[in-house]
């Protein structure tokens, strides 16, 4: 039974990140990140607040990053365009 309990233990996922403003490097939990998925590469990004300088950071998210973040349970906002908007 101890083997089964070891398998059911959940280890929190941490993501390495860096702030372009203050250049600090740190690890963030899934709860500290937000993912926005838009209709194009320009409108798909992740964001977080730097724990060092408290600046809002926004970085582009390609397909692989989207896959990793959604798989880890990062909050996801799906951006939808309405017909007729450019």
The values of phi and psi at residue 51, to 5°, are: -70, -15
Task: Give yes or no for residue 75 having a pLDDT over 70.
Answer: yes
pTM, full prediction: 0.78
Q: What is the mean pLDDT of residues 42-64?
A: 97
Q: Which residue has the higher pLDDT, 60 or 6?
A: 60
- Give the model confidence (pLDDT) of 36-51 as tens digits: 999 998 899 999 999 9
For residue 36, how many other CB atoms are within 10 A of its CB? Answer: 16
* Cβ atoms within 10 Å, residue 35: 21
Distance CA 5, CA 45 (A): 37
């Amino acid at each position: 039974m101890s083997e089964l309990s070891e398998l059911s233990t959940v280890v929190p996922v941490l993501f390495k990140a860096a702030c372009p403003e203050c250049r600090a490097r740190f690890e963030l939990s899934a709860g500290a990140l937000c993912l926005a998925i838009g209709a194009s590469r320009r409108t798909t990004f992740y964001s977080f607040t730097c724990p060092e300088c408290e600046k809002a950071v926004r970085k582009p998210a390609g397909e692989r990053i989207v896959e990793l973040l959604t798989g880890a349970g990062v909050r996801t906002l799906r951006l939808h365009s309405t017909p007729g908007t450019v």
